[in-house]
Structure 1
Amino acid sequence: MRDLRATFAHDTWVMPYLRKYKWLLTLVLFLGVMTFLSAGALMFNSGYLISEAARRPGNIIYIYVPVVLARGFGIARPAFRYAERLTSHNWVLRIVSDFRKKLYQAVENKAAAIKQTHQTGDILSILAEDIDHIENLYLRTVFPMVIGWVLYLFIVIGVGVFNWAVGLLLLVLLGVIVVIMPMVSVAVNGAREFKEKQIQHDFYTNLTDEVLGLSDWVISGRYDDFMDLQTKPIKQIAKLRREDHYFQWWRGFGVQVFFLLAVLTLLIWSGFQFTGSKAQANWVAAFALALFPVIEPFLEISQGASEWPIYQQSIQRVNALSADPVVQKDQAQLNGAFSQLTVDNVTFRYADDDRVILHDLTLQINAGEKLALLGPSGTGKSTLLKLLLGDEHATAGQVTINGQDIATLQDARANLFGVLDQQPYLFDTTVMNNVRLGNLNATDDQVKAAIKAVELEPLINSLPNGYDTQVQESGARFSGGERQRLSLARILLQDAPIIILDEPTVSLDPITEKDLLDTVFNVLKDKTIIWVTHHLAGIDHVDQVRFLENGQFDMQGTPDDLYQHEARFRRLYDLDRGKVTE
């Protein structure tokens, strides 16, 4: 319950739309309840009709009214069901339309900030899945649970009017189905489904990262370790799904058992209550049969509740995406020019994970130095970058610039860091406008000088519209290497002292990769560079190399020292140059 309140405490995606469309929501719930009440009334009436007809009454008038009611309730049930489906989907389509509009506005208005704080996979997850999850929150959880609870109260109160003891017994028996089992589903099966989604998400992310660095695994002789990393999450997911199916079977069986007990309770009670005469006996089957239609919403309550953790994560993610950035307290500007970035005995673990990602890391980078950061996937390279940028905060230790905690320098972040990653974001506007994003006050001549520095001047001049050429969405007008150079020109205009290269050449062919790296290190020769890479092409450009593995630095030193003293480094180095070593 505490988690539920926390989820909606600052919610801007679910609760506002419940209030906005409250009357339509009320109509949906009313039609849903009437659907099952009509079904229950049909069974109740049918039970009476069958019993009365079996007595072979002397006059047809005795069964004429039940026959008419059977037709009426028989028509009412599908009619209410159809209207409920139309209304509920109308409700969902309305809010999903509002969701998508709001989501795309958030992405458009905060594209640069989102790019720094969210992985591409997270953004795709939000766009592709989270809105659907919130839609399913209504269709699969909210609507069935509210309808089921209303029917539960209706049955208990309705029977309690005739006999309070039987009503109390039904309160307990049906309460197990609509209250206890949903709570157990959330605690057990819901947590399992949430864990499965987490494993699947991490598996997709890590697999992409590991495939990109496949040559490192092969040349280091760790092929079996690579395969183990892929098969382990697959086996975990398969195990969780088996447990999920097993649990659902037993939960369904339990619902059927308690529902059977409720039916027997009604049957026994009505058998004693309505046996005073032959006419009263007609009501015995009526009460027993009336309960059967409500088993459908009762079953849906537990399943909908078990899916709540998945929906909760989606709600939290979209709220985090659209929320205003948290204002850091005691913000300051950097004292003087940048001179040193220090990682001082940093240990890090995520709040919801006991696993230590980084353990007691120490690193010092002076102004103008070039550092290459290597290591297999999942070793903490991305986490270390987040700590350097201030997106995450160390569990122990500290990250400082010129002795100042990075957390206090977030207002100056754009003046301290420039980032060139795998897929630089280019907007559907002109070349001039895209590059000028690095410094909105830059003149046209400064923009052109930056483009010339990254060796794109001949290409731009050859285009019909020159610097006014439309880049197209995500830079589709240009090749991968050209997009990286445009982003590099933007970084030059930004003129930040620290440049982070997050595998900017991962999707490029070897020739384009070499040319781009030569250009990058040439135009940024006066900058401090932190370069995350999977292999050693261009490693001669850096001053020091750090191999990060299992959350710690495994190898470190200059490229020359590592080549002379580390056989693993030497093999990787020779492989990247096409040289076969023994």
Structure 2
Amino acid sequence: MWKQDTWVKPYLKQYKFLLATVLLLGVLTTVCGGALMFTSGYTIDKSATHPYNILMIYPAILMTRAFGIGRPTFKYIERLRSHNWVLKVTSKLRTRLYQTVEQDAAFFEEKYQSGNLLGLLSEDIAHLQNLYLRTVFPTVVGLLLVVIVTLGIGYFSWQFGLLVGILLLFEALVVPLLSTAVEAGRRTQQKQFKDQLYTNLTDNILGANDWLLSGRKKDFQTATQKTVQELNTSKLSSRQFRWQRDWALQIGLGIIYLVLLVFTNLYFTQNTEAANYTAAFVLALAPVGETIVAISQGFEEYPAYQDSVRRLNNLQPTALTLPAQKQLAVADFQTLELSNLEFEYGTDTPTLVHNFSQTIHRGEKLALIGPSGSGKTTILQLINGDLVPQRGQVELNGINVRQLQENSEPLFSFLNQKPFLFNTSILNNVRLGNEAQSDAAVKAALKAVRLDQTIEALPQGYDTYVQEAGARFSGGERQRIALARILLRDAPIVLLDEPTVGLDAITENALLQTIFEVLADKTIIWVTHHLQGVKHVDQVIFWQHGQVEMAGSPQELMRTNQHFQTLYQMDQGLPENLT
């Protein structure tokens, strides 16, 4: 996994000098802590021998003060630098992840559930951040300290230096590895529980009304309780293991202290002056022990980090390879041409678009009708360039739409089933269509979609907050706000993806009437699954099994096609005068 890693190693190299500074500061922090304890121990021992002059211990007192100041100073700077390093890296990681998801949104929509995407965006990047702070930094600093302590004691006795080095390595490396082996399965299970909770909670929030309307309020409240209980049980087991492990590590440190006591009594008791260093050597190891104990916690979380790194490295959306880009002015657009389109999401999935061709002139309205899952939305994604066909092409004025991707925003507007409204004012929500437009232009757009009187009757008028996901307004009103965005954007091509799904018949008919009135001069490709409002379009295409089943103007089909007449009567109840 780590050989092909592109989410961790590159940033270690990119910020290697800052990383080296962080590690040096980490070592200096513990060295100052050890030196503080060393000089304190020496001062205590020296004072116990009743020196005949205070100057005999004054240098040690000054050094105690210096190291006492140095330890928190180095620690503070190390925290600043390490968090600066991590924030730089995670900022790049988040930007890269968002760009990866945005680059091929259709790919992620097919492969990931909303809950899994939340896990990717929050948990996985947070795990990489903790990988540096809790595992990489403490481990490297701890191992450097093991080398320093081993060499320091080895200077006096290689036997004791080797023994202390082995004991410290056991604390800094063996115990963390054993901890990882014990906790690996449990941590992986906890990660799975969290991912499941993300998915379940997303489903529950999006489907809250359906739970309540079905009379299953209690089931809604208890839907995630089992997973939460299992997660809490697993976390409790982890806490118990952590306590036992840390207790064992403290016992190990106690053994090291005993070894140092033996060492100092053998090498520093030949005279009174040397005996002053007995307590100093033992106390100096205490801060080193504190640093080493923290390594185990970082190691035990490694399986979760490893899973996050693996998931991020497995993100393989369609490579964004755009041809040489061209410009097409909005006023110059005249023709949208689809030529022999073929598309499938994978070799194990059915072909959604098979040899589809269509020419649409500026201002024309096309309805694409067919059952759910037949590939209608896929055609919209092919038209605006989100998806690339395996064969054929989409052209605007003879220019491949892939050659217009960097400048496609002024050409396309999109209205889908559930346009998202942000929890800000109505003005701000509409202005997303064109941030350069004035308040007067926004209000004019809202008036055009027949929302002005409704909004002006509100206490705060156009400054009214729409609440989360637009909950302040009905489904039809949310669609009209989104339609006002489209008017403000003023793109020549409008893609409608079943914008009236879930609305009652009266609201649906009124909304369709408004859409085709205010967008009368636009080119519209409208995906729908039934014939309500079909009289507004110039051409109707019935889509089935990836290809055209029936096509023509609604008036012509009503006169000449018995199948269309039957479908229309089934959909409408009675045939409508389309002429």
Normalised by the length of structure 2, the TM-score is: 0.58
Partner amino acid, structure 2, of 1:72: L
User: For 2:30 and 2:45, how far apart are their aligned partners in 1?
Assistant: 22
User: For 1:160 and 1:539, how far apart are their aligned partners in 2?
Assistant: 88
SS in 2 for 1:337: strand
Partner amino acid, structure 1, of 2:511: T
User: For 1:489 and 1:362, how far apart are their aligned partners in 2?
Assistant: 36
Q: How does 1:87-486 map to 2 (within 5 A)?
A: 87-91=77-81, 94=84, 140-186=134-180, 188-189=182-183, 192-193=186-187, 196-197=190-191, 199-214=193-208, 216=210, 229-274=223-268, 284-307=278-301, 326-328=319-321, 337=338, 368-372=368-372, 418=414, 420=416, 421-423=418-420, 434-435=432-433, 455=450, 480=473, 484-486=479-481
- 1:300 positional shift: 1.4
CA contact under 8 A between 2:183 and 2:300: conserved in structure 1? yes
- 1:35 positional shift: 2.5
Q: Quick one: structure 1 residues 228 and 416, their matched pair in 2 at CA, closer, same or farther if it must change by over 3 Å?
A: farther
- 1:238 positional shift: 0.9
User: For 1:426 and 1:125, how far apart are their aligned partners in 2?
Assistant: 23
- 1:181 positional shift: 3.0
SS in 2 for 1:210: helix
CA contact under 8 A between 1:39 and 1:293: conserved in structure 2? no
Q: How does 1:450-529 map to 2 (within 5 A)?
A: 455=450, 480=473, 484-488=479-483, 499-500=496-497, 515=507, 519=511, 523=515, 527=525, 529=527
| 1:60 alignment partner, one of 51, 54, 58 | 51
User: For 1:387 and 1:49, how far apart are their aligned partners in 2?
Assistant: 86
User: For 1:338 and 1:448, how far apart are their aligned partners in 2?
Assistant: 40
| 1:28 to 2:29 alignment | no
Q: Deviations over 1:138-173 (max 9, x none)?
A: 654454334322321111111112222222222222
CA contact under 8 A between 2:344 and 2:352: conserved in structure 1? yes
User: For 1:129 and 1:410, how far apart are their aligned partners in 2?
Assistant: 34
User: For 1:405 and 1:254, how far apart are their aligned partners in 2?
Assistant: 67
SS in 1 for 2:319: coil
Q: Deviations over 1:476-508 (max 9, x none)?
A: 999656554343466696677975469987xxx
Q: Quick one: structure 1 residues 502 and 433, their matched pair in 2 at CA, closer, same or farther if it must change by over 3 Å?
A: closer
Q: Which has the larger radius of gyration?
A: 2
Q: Deviations over 1:44-65 (max 9, x none)?
A: 5267448xx3xxx5x6249973
Q: Deviations over 1:357-407 (max 9, x none)?
A: xxx78978998124457xxxxxxxxxx9999969xxxxxxxx99697799x
SS in 2 for 1:82: helix
In structure 1, the residue matched to 2:71 is 81
Q: Quick one: structure 1 residues 266 and 171, their matched pair in 2 at CA, closer, same or farther if it must change by over 3 Å?
A: same
- 1:245 positional shift: 0.6
Structure 1 unmatched runs, 5+ = 348-359, 374-383, 391-398, 441-446, 464-468, 532-537, 546-559, 565-582
- 1:208 positional shift: 3.2
Q: Quick one: structure 1 residues 136 and 2, their matched pair in 2 at CA, closer, same or farther if it must change by over 3 Å?
A: closer
- 1:250 positional shift: 2.7
Q: Quick one: structure 1 residues 282 and 434, their matched pair in 2 at CA, closer, same or farther if it must change by over 3 Å?
A: closer
Q: How does 1:555-570 map to 2 (within 5 A)?
A: none
Q: Quick one: structure 1 residues 173 and 477, their matched pair in 2 at CA, closer, same or farther if it must change by over 3 Å?
A: closer
Of residues 183-192 and 154-163 in structure 1, the stretch that sits farther from structure 2 once superposed is 183-192
| 1:42 to 2:34 alignment | no
- 1:252 positional shift: 0.8
Please provide the CA RMSD for this pair. 6.5
Q: Quick one: structure 1 residues 40 and 449, their matched pair in 2 at CA, closer, same or farther if it must change by over 3 Å?
A: closer
- 1:294 positional shift: 1.8
Q: Quick one: structure 1 residues 137 and 345, their matched pair in 2 at CA, closer, same or farther if it must change by over 3 Å?
A: closer
In structure 2, the residue matched to 1:71 is 61
Q: Quick one: structure 1 residues 122 and 87, their matched pair in 2 at CA, closer, same or farther if it must change by over 3 Å?
A: farther
Normalised by the length of structure 1, the TM-score is: 0.58
User: For 2:346 and 2:318, how far apart are their aligned partners in 1?
Assistant: 28
SS in 2 for 1:162: coil
- 1:240 positional shift: 2.3
SS in 2 for 1:327: coil
User: For 2:154 and 2:351, how far apart are their aligned partners in 1?
Assistant: 71
Q: Deviations over 1:498-540 (max 9, x none)?
A: 75469987xxxx88x9736862698589746379xxxxxx998
CA contact under 8 A between 1:31 and 1:83: conserved in structure 2? no
SS in 2 for 1:171: helix
* Identity score, percent: 25
User: For 2:215 and 2:468, how far apart are their aligned partners in 1?
Assistant: 38
